[in-house]
Amino acid sequence: MATTYQQCPRKWKYQYILGERVGSTMSTMIGSYAHKVLEYLYKEEASDRTLDTAREIATYFWPGQESDPDFVAHELTEDQIKEFKHTVWRNIDGLFRMENPQSVEVVATEQEFNVKIKGTPFRGFVDRIDALNEERTDIRIVDYKTGKPGDKRYWSKKLKQVRLYAAMVQEELKLTPKRISLLFPAHEVAIEEDANKRSVNMIVTELSGVWNSIHSSMETDKFPPSVGPLCAWCDFVGECPEGQVEVESRFHEGNVRQDAPGLAILGLS
Protein backbone atom coordinates (compact mmCIF):
# COMPACT_ATOMS: atom_id res chain seq x y z
CA MET A 1 0.00 0.00 0.00
CA ALA A 2 2.67 2.52 1.05
CA THR A 3 4.95 1.42 -1.79
CA THR A 4 2.16 2.14 -4.27
CA TYR A 5 1.93 5.69 -2.89
CA GLN A 6 5.70 6.06 -3.09
CA GLN A 7 5.55 4.94 -6.70
CA CYS A 8 2.68 7.28 -7.63
CA PRO A 9 0.16 9.07 -5.38
CA ARG A 10 -2.36 9.19 -8.26
CA LYS A 11 -2.19 5.42 -8.66
CA TRP A 12 -2.73 5.06 -4.92
CA LYS A 13 -5.89 7.16 -5.22
CA TYR A 14 -7.28 5.02 -8.05
CA GLN A 15 -6.57 1.87 -6.14
CA TYR A 16 -7.40 2.70 -2.52
CA ILE A 17 -9.76 5.71 -2.56
CA LEU A 18 -11.74 5.08 -5.70
CA GLY A 19 -11.47 1.33 -5.09
CA GLU A 20 -11.05 0.63 -8.77
CA ARG A 21 -10.72 -3.04 -9.28
CA VAL A 22 -7.51 -4.36 -10.65
CA GLY A 23 -8.24 -7.56 -12.57
CA SER A 24 -5.92 -10.44 -11.78
CA THR A 25 -3.09 -10.69 -14.24
CA MET A 26 -1.56 -14.02 -15.19
CA SER A 27 1.43 -13.29 -12.99
CA THR A 28 -0.70 -12.49 -9.92
CA MET A 29 -2.70 -15.68 -10.47
CA ILE A 30 0.49 -17.75 -10.82
CA GLY A 31 1.72 -16.11 -7.61
CA SER A 32 -1.45 -16.84 -5.62
CA TYR A 33 -1.68 -20.45 -6.78
CA ALA A 34 1.99 -21.20 -6.06
CA HIS A 35 1.73 -19.47 -2.66
CA LYS A 36 -1.31 -21.58 -1.78
CA VAL A 37 0.46 -24.84 -2.62
CA LEU A 38 3.52 -23.79 -0.59
CA GLU A 39 1.37 -22.65 2.32
CA TYR A 40 -0.31 -26.03 2.59
CA LEU A 41 2.91 -27.94 1.94
CA TYR A 42 4.61 -26.26 4.90
CA LYS A 43 1.57 -26.94 7.10
CA GLU A 44 2.21 -30.66 6.64
CA GLU A 45 4.28 -32.67 9.10
CA ALA A 46 7.95 -32.25 8.17
CA SER A 47 8.29 -35.87 6.97
CA ASP A 48 5.34 -35.41 4.58
CA ARG A 49 6.77 -32.38 2.82
CA THR A 50 7.67 -34.13 -0.40
CA LEU A 51 7.25 -33.32 -4.08
CA ASP A 52 4.46 -35.92 -4.25
CA THR A 53 2.60 -34.13 -1.46
CA ALA A 54 3.08 -30.80 -3.25
CA ARG A 55 1.67 -32.37 -6.42
CA GLU A 56 -1.37 -33.67 -4.51
CA ILE A 57 -1.99 -30.22 -3.01
CA ALA A 58 -1.69 -28.55 -6.43
CA THR A 59 -4.14 -31.09 -7.87
CA TYR A 60 -6.56 -30.55 -4.99
CA PHE A 61 -6.71 -26.79 -5.60
CA TRP A 62 -6.80 -26.95 -9.40
CA PRO A 63 -10.63 -27.16 -9.84
CA GLY A 64 -11.02 -23.97 -7.78
CA GLN A 65 -8.34 -22.28 -9.87
CA GLU A 66 -9.72 -23.21 -13.27
CA SER A 67 -13.24 -22.12 -12.32
CA ASP A 68 -12.10 -18.81 -10.82
CA PRO A 69 -13.89 -16.02 -12.77
CA ASP A 70 -10.65 -14.04 -13.24
CA PHE A 71 -8.92 -17.12 -14.62
CA VAL A 72 -11.85 -17.96 -16.89
CA ALA A 73 -11.90 -14.35 -18.15
CA HIS A 74 -8.44 -14.84 -19.68
CA GLU A 75 -9.88 -17.51 -22.03
CA LEU A 76 -6.61 -19.41 -22.07
CA THR A 77 -5.87 -21.99 -24.71
CA GLU A 78 -4.82 -25.49 -23.69
CA ASP A 79 -1.20 -24.60 -24.35
CA GLN A 80 -1.47 -21.48 -22.19
CA ILE A 81 -3.03 -23.50 -19.37
CA LYS A 82 -0.14 -25.95 -19.68
CA GLU A 83 2.31 -23.05 -19.49
CA PHE A 84 0.47 -21.67 -16.42
CA LYS A 85 0.77 -25.02 -14.62
CA HIS A 86 4.36 -25.39 -15.74
CA THR A 87 5.30 -21.97 -14.33
CA VAL A 88 3.59 -22.70 -11.02
CA TRP A 89 5.40 -26.03 -10.83
CA ARG A 90 8.78 -24.45 -11.63
CA ASN A 91 8.30 -22.42 -8.43
CA ILE A 92 7.39 -25.45 -6.30
CA ASP A 93 10.07 -27.67 -7.74
CA GLY A 94 12.61 -24.84 -7.56
CA LEU A 95 12.02 -24.43 -3.83
CA PHE A 96 12.91 -28.09 -3.29
CA ARG A 97 16.21 -27.40 -5.03
CA MET A 98 16.88 -24.41 -2.80
CA GLU A 99 16.10 -26.04 0.53
CA ASN A 100 14.97 -29.31 2.03
CA PRO A 101 11.37 -28.61 3.16
CA GLN A 102 11.61 -31.54 5.59
CA SER A 103 14.30 -29.80 7.59
CA VAL A 104 12.50 -26.47 7.95
CA GLU A 105 11.12 -25.74 11.44
CA VAL A 106 7.95 -23.86 10.57
CA VAL A 107 6.50 -21.44 13.11
CA ALA A 108 3.74 -20.09 10.85
CA THR A 109 2.71 -19.82 7.20
CA GLU A 110 0.64 -17.07 5.57
CA GLN A 111 0.17 -15.32 8.88
CA GLU A 112 -1.71 -12.04 8.84
CA PHE A 113 -0.34 -9.13 10.84
CA ASN A 114 -2.24 -6.00 11.66
CA VAL A 115 -0.10 -3.90 13.95
CA LYS A 116 0.64 -0.34 14.94
CA ILE A 117 4.31 0.55 15.14
CA LYS A 118 5.13 3.95 16.61
CA GLY A 119 1.54 5.01 15.91
CA THR A 120 1.53 3.92 12.26
CA PRO A 121 -0.74 1.05 11.23
CA PHE A 122 0.80 -1.74 9.13
CA ARG A 123 -0.90 -4.77 7.69
CA GLY A 124 0.45 -7.70 5.74
CA PHE A 125 0.70 -11.45 5.27
CA VAL A 126 4.01 -13.08 6.04
CA ASP A 127 4.56 -16.11 3.80
CA ARG A 128 6.57 -18.11 6.30
CA ILE A 129 8.25 -17.79 9.66
CA ASP A 130 10.93 -20.40 10.44
CA ALA A 131 12.57 -21.25 13.74
CA LEU A 132 16.35 -21.23 13.62
CA ASN A 133 16.94 -22.77 17.04
CA GLU A 134 15.29 -25.37 19.24
CA GLU A 135 13.96 -22.77 21.67
CA ARG A 136 12.21 -21.08 18.72
CA THR A 137 13.47 -17.70 19.83
CA ASP A 138 15.61 -17.07 16.75
CA ILE A 139 13.47 -16.78 13.66
CA ARG A 140 13.72 -16.21 9.96
CA ILE A 141 11.17 -14.29 7.88
CA VAL A 142 10.61 -15.79 4.43
CA ASP A 143 8.82 -14.21 1.50
CA TYR A 144 8.34 -15.99 -1.85
CA LYS A 145 8.31 -14.19 -5.16
CA THR A 146 7.17 -15.90 -8.32
CA GLY A 147 8.49 -13.14 -10.60
CA LYS A 148 12.06 -12.53 -11.67
CA PRO A 149 14.73 -11.39 -9.21
CA GLY A 150 15.80 -8.68 -11.64
CA ASP A 151 18.95 -6.61 -11.63
CA LYS A 152 21.29 -7.25 -8.67
CA ARG A 153 21.68 -3.50 -8.16
CA TYR A 154 18.09 -3.36 -6.84
CA TRP A 155 18.16 -6.45 -4.67
CA SER A 156 18.66 -4.58 -1.42
CA LYS A 157 15.66 -2.37 -2.23
CA LYS A 158 13.59 -5.49 -2.81
CA LEU A 159 14.21 -6.52 0.80
CA LYS A 160 12.35 -3.47 2.13
CA GLN A 161 9.05 -5.28 2.36
CA VAL A 162 10.61 -8.22 4.22
CA ARG A 163 12.32 -5.79 6.61
CA LEU A 164 8.90 -4.35 7.34
CA TYR A 165 7.56 -7.87 7.95
CA ALA A 166 10.41 -8.35 10.41
CA ALA A 167 9.28 -5.21 12.26
CA MET A 168 5.68 -6.43 12.31
CA VAL A 169 6.61 -9.90 13.59
CA GLN A 170 8.83 -8.32 16.23
CA GLU A 171 6.03 -6.03 17.37
CA GLU A 172 3.31 -8.67 17.44
CA LEU A 173 5.11 -11.85 18.46
CA LYS A 174 7.85 -10.21 20.51
CA LEU A 175 10.42 -12.36 18.71
CA THR A 176 13.54 -10.91 17.18
CA PRO A 177 14.06 -12.01 13.59
CA LYS A 178 17.66 -13.02 12.92
CA ARG A 179 17.44 -13.50 9.19
CA ILE A 180 15.23 -12.25 6.37
CA SER A 181 14.91 -14.04 3.03
CA LEU A 182 13.28 -13.22 -0.26
CA LEU A 183 13.12 -16.41 -2.32
CA PHE A 184 12.63 -16.60 -6.09
CA PRO A 185 12.16 -20.39 -6.37
CA ALA A 186 11.66 -20.55 -10.14
CA HIS A 187 15.05 -18.92 -10.57
CA GLU A 188 16.64 -20.56 -7.51
CA VAL A 189 17.71 -17.17 -6.22
CA ALA A 190 17.66 -16.14 -2.56
CA ILE A 191 18.14 -12.51 -1.58
CA GLU A 192 18.94 -12.57 2.12
CA GLU A 193 20.49 -10.65 4.94
CA ASP A 194 20.86 -10.87 8.69
CA ALA A 195 17.97 -8.95 10.20
CA ASN A 196 19.52 -5.76 11.33
CA LYS A 197 17.85 -3.53 13.87
CA ARG A 198 18.91 -0.36 12.10
CA SER A 199 17.60 -1.31 8.65
CA VAL A 200 14.35 -2.59 10.19
CA ASN A 201 13.91 0.69 12.10
CA MET A 202 14.75 2.69 9.00
CA ILE A 203 12.01 1.08 6.95
CA VAL A 204 9.48 1.73 9.73
CA THR A 205 10.53 5.40 9.83
CA GLU A 206 10.40 5.66 6.04
CA LEU A 207 6.94 4.12 5.79
CA SER A 208 5.65 6.19 8.72
CA GLY A 209 6.66 9.24 6.67
CA VAL A 210 4.73 7.87 3.69
CA TRP A 211 1.73 7.35 5.94
CA ASN A 212 1.88 11.04 6.97
CA SER A 213 2.04 12.06 3.30
CA ILE A 214 -1.00 9.90 2.55
CA HIS A 215 -2.88 11.67 5.34
CA SER A 216 -2.01 15.08 3.98
CA SER A 217 -2.99 14.03 0.41
CA MET A 218 -6.34 12.89 1.74
CA GLU A 219 -6.91 16.15 3.60
CA THR A 220 -6.10 18.26 0.54
CA ASP A 221 -7.35 15.78 -2.08
CA LYS A 222 -4.07 16.23 -3.92
CA PHE A 223 -2.69 13.06 -5.47
CA PRO A 224 -0.17 14.18 -8.08
CA PRO A 225 0.73 11.82 -10.92
CA SER A 226 4.28 10.56 -10.89
CA VAL A 227 4.95 9.75 -14.52
CA GLY A 228 7.76 7.44 -15.60
CA PRO A 229 8.53 4.06 -17.15
CA LEU A 230 6.13 2.31 -14.76
CA CYS A 231 3.13 4.06 -16.34
CA ALA A 232 3.33 1.42 -19.08
CA TRP A 233 2.78 -1.21 -16.35
CA CYS A 234 0.04 0.71 -14.51
CA ASP A 235 -3.47 -0.77 -14.51
CA PHE A 236 -4.97 2.72 -14.44
CA VAL A 237 -3.15 4.25 -17.39
CA GLY A 238 -6.41 4.22 -19.39
CA GLU A 239 -7.87 6.73 -16.93
CA CYS A 240 -4.81 8.87 -16.32
CA PRO A 241 -4.20 11.59 -18.95
CA GLU A 242 -0.63 12.33 -17.82
CA GLY A 243 0.23 8.64 -17.82
CA GLN A 244 -1.16 8.23 -21.35
CA VAL A 245 1.00 11.06 -22.68
CA GLU A 246 4.02 9.46 -21.02
CA VAL A 247 3.38 5.97 -22.41
CA GLU A 248 2.62 7.26 -25.92
CA SER A 249 5.78 9.32 -25.98
CA ARG A 250 7.92 6.40 -24.71
CA PHE A 251 6.22 4.09 -27.21
CA HIS A 252 7.07 6.39 -30.15
CA GLU A 253 10.67 6.59 -28.91
CA GLY A 254 10.79 2.78 -28.75
CA ASN A 255 11.31 2.90 -24.98
CA VAL A 256 8.57 0.52 -23.84
CA ARG A 257 8.81 -3.24 -23.60
CA GLN A 258 6.38 -4.94 -25.98
CA ASP A 259 4.82 -7.00 -23.19
CA ALA A 260 3.94 -3.94 -21.05
CA PRO A 261 0.19 -4.23 -20.35
CA GLY A 262 -0.27 -0.45 -20.69
CA LEU A 263 0.31 -0.77 -24.45
CA ALA A 264 -2.69 -3.07 -24.80
CA ILE A 265 -4.81 -0.82 -22.54
CA LEU A 266 -4.04 2.15 -24.82
CA GLY A 267 -4.44 0.15 -28.03
CA LEU A 268 -0.77 0.49 -28.93
CA SER A 269 0.01 -3.21 -29.31
Interface residues toward ligand SF4, by CB under 6 A: 8, 10-11, 225-227, 230-231, 234, 236-237, 240, 242-243
Helix (H, G, I), strand (E, B) or coil at 189: strand
Residue closer to ligand SF4, measured from CB, 42 or 223 = 223
For ligand SF4, the closer of residues 106 and 230 by Cβ is 230
Cα–Cα distance list, 208 to 2, 115, 116, 202 (Å)? 9, 13, 10, 10
248 forms bridges with which residues in the sheet?
none
Instruction: Report the alpha-carbon distance of residue 44 to residue 163 in Å, rounded.
Output: 27
Q: Specify the residue, 73 or 245, whose C-beta has the smaller distance to ligand SF4.
A: 245
Q: Which is nearer to ligand SF4, 109 or 226 (CB)?
A: 226
What Rg, from alpha-carbon coordinates, does the chain have?
A: 20
The least CB distance from residue 260 to ligand SF4, in Å, is 11
Angle between helix 26-41 and 78-98 (nearest 10): 40
**For ligand SF4, which is the closer residue by CB, 65 or 226?**
226
CB of 169 to ligand SF4, least distance (A): 31
Determine the residue with CB nearest ligand SF4. 243
Q: Whole-angstrom Cα distance, residue 103 to residue 92?
A: 16
DSSP state of 185: G
Shortest Å, Cβ 243 to ligand SF4: 2
Cβ neighbours, 10 Å, residue 33:
24
Q: Least distance in Å: CB of 264 to ligand SF4?
A: 14
Sheet strands side by side (includes 105-117): 105-117, 120-131, 138-144, 176-184, 189-194
Burial label for 181, CB within 10 Å (0-12, 13-18, 19+), is buried
Q: Provide the minimum distance between the beta carbon of 237 and ligand SF4 in the complex, in angstroms, as a whole number.
A: 4
Nearer to ligand SF4, 95 or 234 (CB): 234
Question: What's the min distance (Å) between Cβ of 222 and ligand SF4?
Answer: 14
